[in-house]
Structure formats: C-alpha cells, structure tokens
C-alpha cells in the first residue's frame, strides 16, 4: 500500500469516527452524563475537593452501610461416624454438638465436619 492510499484510508476512518462522535453527542444518555460530570466537577472545585477525597467520603458511607447489614453464618454439618447421625450447627452452642463433644471430645467432633 502506498503512502497516499494509507493517507486516504486514514481520512475515511477519521470521517467515520467523527460521524460516530456526532451521533454520541446527540444521545440523551451522553448529554445527561456530561451534564452530571460538569456539575460534579463544579461542586468539587467549589468545595475544594479532589476526586480522591470524594471517593474516600463515598467509600466510608458505603462501608458504614455494609457494616449495618446483619451477618449470616452458614450452618456447619457434622456426621457422627459411629451412629450415622447428621446435625447442622450454626454455633458450637448446639445441644447435640455439645453432647458429642462431652462424649467424644471436641477435637474428634471437629474432624466430623461435612463439606
């Protein structure tokens, strides 16, 4: 390919890209996002905040919201190889788990976990 052909091909590509950009600029979603970013930048300048400072504030709020959510622990299943009994214990305060620990020892019962 000659240099002139390469140049004209690049011109066509440039024209296509400019048409695509013109379409995007007319898109309402693009216009809303551009307006949002403009306002956000203005607020950051007004309050003398950097993007990093803004993210720090937002991350703290998100972390606080996540911290308020109650944690759910998945029950652990134990299978007694001597009797074949299976229990699901959320905590080690389970009545059957405690009885097995008293009879066989906690170290032995902990080896009975089922995946």
List the chain domain ranges: 3-68, 76-114
| Half-sphere exposure of residue 66: CA atoms within 13 angstroms, side-chain side | 6
Strand arrangement, sheet containing 86-89: 86-89, 76-79, 113-114
Cα torsion at 55, 59, 60, 64 (round to 10°)? 160
Instruction: Return the number of other C-beta atoms located less than 10 Å from residue 106's C-beta.
Output: 13
Q: In the predicted model, what is the mean pLDDT of the chain?
A: 89
Cα–chain-centroid distance for residue 56? 17
Q: What's the pTM value of the predicted model, to 2 decimals? A: 0.44
- Going by the DSSP 8-state scheme, the letter that residue 91 receives in this structure is S
- Going by the DSSP 8-state scheme, the letter that residue 74 receives in this structure is P
Residues 21-69: tens digit of each pLDDT: 999 999 999 999 999 999 999 999 999 998 888 888 888 766 666 666 6
First vs last C-alpha separation in the chain: 64
* Tokens coding 38: 């403009």
């Amino acid at each position: 390919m000659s240099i002139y052909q390469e140049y004209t091909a690049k011109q066509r590509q440039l024209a296509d890209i400019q048409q695509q950009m013109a379409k995007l600029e007319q898109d309402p979603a693009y216009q809303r996002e551009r307006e949002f970013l403009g306002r956000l930048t203005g607020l950051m300048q007004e309050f003398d905040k950097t993007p990093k400072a803004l993210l720090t504030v937002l991350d703290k709020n998100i972390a606080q919201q996540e911290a308020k959510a109650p944690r759910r622990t998945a029950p652990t299943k134990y299978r007694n190889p001597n009797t074949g009994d299976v229990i699901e214990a959320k905590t080690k305060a389970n009545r059957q788990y405690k009885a097995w620990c008293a009879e066989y020892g906690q170290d032995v019962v902990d080896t009975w976990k089922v995946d």
